[in-house]
């Protein structure tokens, strides 16, 4: 039986990696294990509208609408995704469909929307599948949703469920897999269960370098093997930090991960500098403030110029005025998005 025509809605959050995924092989499989916090506020909301198929043929027939307007420029990436997943979701080809999508954060903010976007679309597709196969188990549903999202954008597999999500097979993490993300399976100290992520928008332009280009640059990279080992070792270290509650060790590891990711881009061929002068200014300010006030605060970066400021709820009373007075002047049009992690 085929799913019914109509609307299938889902939403998915963005995530911020503590140990970064950078480098892949085969069908979007990661060269190292990564782990991320799931954000609460930055989300993509997506609706797939299944319509009767009129045009014959084996092609996908779909249109993408972003914030209510047709967005043909999104379609090639989604077409690539649909082709990659077609054998896993054969029913999709029996329909024409529209994909309507919007983000809760500004599109031009430089916040990667591919993780939340592909995760939301994968969730819609699985909603369609479960509408005709209600007997499928929750575990199957979780794994397959994350598996499909991965084929859209690697980091998206960490955005389909869970609050602290591991992706990549790792000897120290039970149940971990390179095919899908899993909820971090161990206890986490209360210090790390309620965290703020204030995202400083340093550069509101479009992303300069696509992440797929970045991943590919790891193929002939002189430091690749060492980097993959470093990331996997950091997962082991983070596991004991998450148990102990040691803030200092946590921020040392997370900041080193961010800078290592950027170091890979600076030392690849061709090379790129993804930070802006203001990124460095902000990092200097954070380090100064942390030293002077002895406050629990650190940063991480994605593959761009924006800075994610991480701090526990208990530091918020000190950090918020610091952001407003000392960091906002370095942000593009004074912008910051206050998000959080809670579990
Ligand atoms: O999912 P992709 O292919 O856009 O890769 C994103 C990689 C980083 O965001 C830079 C790091 C990570 O682990 O999320």
Give tens-digit pLDDT for 86-137. Answer: 999 999 999 999 999 999 987 766 676 789 999 999 999 999 999 999 899 9
The mean pLDDT value for 269-286 works out to 96
CB of 211 within 6 A of ligand 1: the answer is yes
Interface ipTM:
0.99
Ligand 1 closest atom vs CA 153:
1
Instruction: Work out the average pLDDT over 277-305.
Output: 97
CB of 109 closer than 6 A to ligand 1? no
The minimum-distance atom of ligand 1 relative to the CA of 22 is 7
Tell me the pLDDT tens digit for each residue of 37-58: 999 999 999 999 999 998 877 7
**Per-residue pLDDT at 333 exceeds 90:** no
SS3 of residue 303 by DSSP: coil
Q: Fold for domain 6-183?
A: Ribosomal Protein S5; domain 2 (3.30.230)
For residue 248 the two structure tokens come to: 């200092």
Mean pLDDT of 3-25: 97
Distance CA 99, CA 293 (A): 49
Q: Where in the chain is the domain with CATH 3.30.230.10?
A: 6-183
Every domain range in the chain assigned CATH 3.30.70.890: 193-342
CA of 16 to the centre of ligand 1 (A): 9
334: confidence class by pLDDT, cuts 50, 70, 90: low
CA 71 and chain centroid, separation:
22
Q: Are 57 and 50 in contact (CB under 8 A)?
A: no
pLDDT at residue 232 above 60?
yes
CATH code of the domain occupying 193-342: 3.30.70.890
Which string of DSSP letters, residue by residue, matches 3-49?
A: PPSEEEEEEEEEEEEEE----EETTTEESS-EEEEEEEEEEEEEEEE
DSSP code for 313: G
Chain segment 58-87, per-residue pLDDT in tens:
789 999 999 999 999 999 999 999 999 999
Ligand 1: centre distance to CA 3 (Å): 33
pLDDT at residue 20 greater than cutoff 80? yes
Ligand 1 atom closest to 261 (CA)? 10
* Angle at 337 (CA atoms; ends 335, 343), nearest 5 degrees: 165
pLDDT exceeds 80 at position 217: yes
Structure tokens at 41: 């506020």
The total number of residues written for the chain in this structure: 343
pLDDT confidence of residue 106: 78
Q: Which two tokens stand for residue 250?
A: 């946590």
For the segment 17-35, the average pLDDT, to the nearest whole number, is 97
Q: How far is CA 109 from CA 45, 203, 269, 304, in A?
A: 17, 7, 27, 11
Tokens standing for residue 228? 């993959």
Q: Is 264 in the pocket of ligand 1 (CB under 6 A)?
A: no
Cβ–ligand 1 contact at 44 (below 6 Å) = no
Percent of the chain as helix, strand, coil, to the nearest 5: 45, 25, 30
Question: What interhelical angle do 114-132 and 75-85 show, nearest 10?
Answer: 50
Confidence of residue 206 (pLDDT cuts 50, 70, 90): low
Q: Ligand 1 centroid vs 343 CA: distance in angstroms? A: 23
How far apart (Å, rounded) are the C-alpha atoms in residues 202 and 110? Answer: 9
SS3 of 205-261: CCCCCCHHHHHHCCCCCCCHHHHHHHHHHHHHHHHHHHHHCCHHHHHHHHHHHHHHH
């Amino acid at each position: 039986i085929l799913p019914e025509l109509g609307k299938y809605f889902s939403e998915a959050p963005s995530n911020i990696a503590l140990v970064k995924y950078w480098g892949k092989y085969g069908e979007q499989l990661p060269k190292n294990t990564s782990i991320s916090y799931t954000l609460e506020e930055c989300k993509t909301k997506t609706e797939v509208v299944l319509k009767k198929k009129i045009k014959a043929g084996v092609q996908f027939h779909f249109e993408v609408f972003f914030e209510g307007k047709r967005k043909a420029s999104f379609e090639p990436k989604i077409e690539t995704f649909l082709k990659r997943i077609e054998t896993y979701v054969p029913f999709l080809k029996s329909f024409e469909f529209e994909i309507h999508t919007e983000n809760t954060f500004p599109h031009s903010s430089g916040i990667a929307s591919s993780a939340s976007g592909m995760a939301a679309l994968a969730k819609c597709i699985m909603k369609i599948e479960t509408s005709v196969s209600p007997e499928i188990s929750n575990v199957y549903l979780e794994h397959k949703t994350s598996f499909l999202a991965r084929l859209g954008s690697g980091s998206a597999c960490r955005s389909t469920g869970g609050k602290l999500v591991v992706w990549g097979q790792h000897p120290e993490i039970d149940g971990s897999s390179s095919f899908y993300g899993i909820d971090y399976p161990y206890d986490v100290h209360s210090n790390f269960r309620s965290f703020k992520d204030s995202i400083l928008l340093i550069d509101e332009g479009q992303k300069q370098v696509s992440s797929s280009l970045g991943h590919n640059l790891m193929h002939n990279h002189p430091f690749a093997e060492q980097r993959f080992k470093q990331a996997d070792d950091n997962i082991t270290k983070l596991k004991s930090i998450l148990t102990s509650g040691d803030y200092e060790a946590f921020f040392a590891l997370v900041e080193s991960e961010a800078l290592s990711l950027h170091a890979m881009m600076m030392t690849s061929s061709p090379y790129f500098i993804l930070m802006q002068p203001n990124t460095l200014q902000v990092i200097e300010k954070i380090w100064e403030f942390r030293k002077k006030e002895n406050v629990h605060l650190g940063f991480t970066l994605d593959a761009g110029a924006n800075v994610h400021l991480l701090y526990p709820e208990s530091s918020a009373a000190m950090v918020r005025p610091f952001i407003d007075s000392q960091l906002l002047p370095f942000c593009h049009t004074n912008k910051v998005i206050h998000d959080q992690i809670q579990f």
